[in-house]
Amino acid sequence: MGEFRVPKSHPRYWSLYYRHKIEEAMEKGILAKAGPIAHGRGEAFDYLIGEKTIEPAERAMRAAVAKLLLAKHPVLSVNGNVAALVPKETIELAKALNSKLEINLFYRTEERVRAIEEELRKYDPDIELLGINPTRRIPGLEHERGKVDEEGIWKADVVVVPLEDGDRTEALVAMGKFVITIDLNPLSRSARMADITVVDNIIRAYPRMTELAREMKDHSREELLKIVEGYDNGKTLGDVLTHMKNRLEELAKEGIWRRAEL
Ligand code: PTJ
């Protein structure tokens, strides 16, 4: 496997670093063929928000963590892109939230499930992983795309489905699940269908959600409920679009030509 040789001084170091992670994951059989396409789309939207966590995302993360701490049976879903980018951070977040982890794939093959399991076990060999032998089906989705674990997503009251296809998000909402997604594209179907949408790069969002979970775990039920009830996903998505519009307008006014710091 090729080594990552780009010097840290490169202005796009982190972008190239995560691309390398995507390439490596492809070689290890973790990623779906469509994985790099999804990654590229994410990168494009990250440019538009300014490659940082914006206030509407922080607001969504706070509500998401509150809801997950209140949940009876929270589940974090793991797909190929998530295992490629944030394997360790996913395990840390699951532990901070006391949540189950389920490998759940849009393009499911048993080889990919095994490759993802192997990747996650590098960071914790004893971690409980669901989704290896799923026995249930999400109603309305055909065979491979709909498989879920009886003890995981099937039973869950709150599910986090990051970097997810919109059709599946909608099917989970129709099953009565409270659905949280992480998606850099605020216009995607997933972003529009979920109960809470965190428009941020999962690379920034998961570590921040872990911090929030540790900070908020001693909050009372009432405090957590107040955060969830005061949250409005429609407003959050609108605020993300306004952020993008304002940012582009400001850049257009100030000029971007030969501005190296952007
Ligand atoms: O591993 P599998 O088989 O479950 O397949 C995973 C992919 C991602 C290929 C599959 O779920 C898929 O096709 O998803 P979509 O419909 O391309 O949606 C993925 C969404 O994630 C897009 O809206 C991207 O903008 C967004 N995205 C990509 N990378 C990131 C991201 N959002 C947050 N952080 C990222 N790093």
- Among protein residues, the one whose CA lies closest to atom 17 of ligand 1: 38
Which residues are within 8 A (CB) of 75 and not within 5 positions of it... i.e. 6 or more apart? 99, 100, 101, 102, 130, 152, 153, 156, 158, 159, 160
Domains annotated for the chain, with CATH where assigned, are 55-240 (3.40.50.12640)
> What are the helix and strand counts (H, E) for the chain?
12, 7
pLDDT digits (tens, 9 = 90+) for 17-68: 999 999 999 999 999 999 999 999 999 999 999 999 999 999 999 999 999 9
Cβ atoms 170, 145 nearer than 8 A: no
Cβ(197) – ligand 1 distance below 6 Å: no
What is each CA distance from 196 to 28, 56, 131, 135, 138, in whole angstroms? 32, 11, 23, 27, 20
pLDDT digits (tens, 9 = 90+) for 163-215: 999 999 999 999 999 999 999 999 999 999 999 999 999 999 999 999 999 99
Cβ atoms 78, 102 nearer than 8 A: yes
Q: What is the pLDDT of the chain when averaged over all its residues?
A: 97
- Among protein residues, the one whose CA lies closest to atom 27 of ligand 1: 42
Q: Which residue has the tokens 């257009």?
A: 252
- Tell me the whole-structure pTM to 2 decimals: 0.98
Q: State both tokens at 176.
A: 């009565």
Residue 71: pLDDT band (50, 70, 90) is: very high
Cβ atoms 63, 178 nearer than 8 A: no
Rounded CA separation 209/212 (Å): 5
Cβ(165) – ligand 1 distance below 6 Å: yes
Q: Which residue has the tokens 């996903």?
A: 233
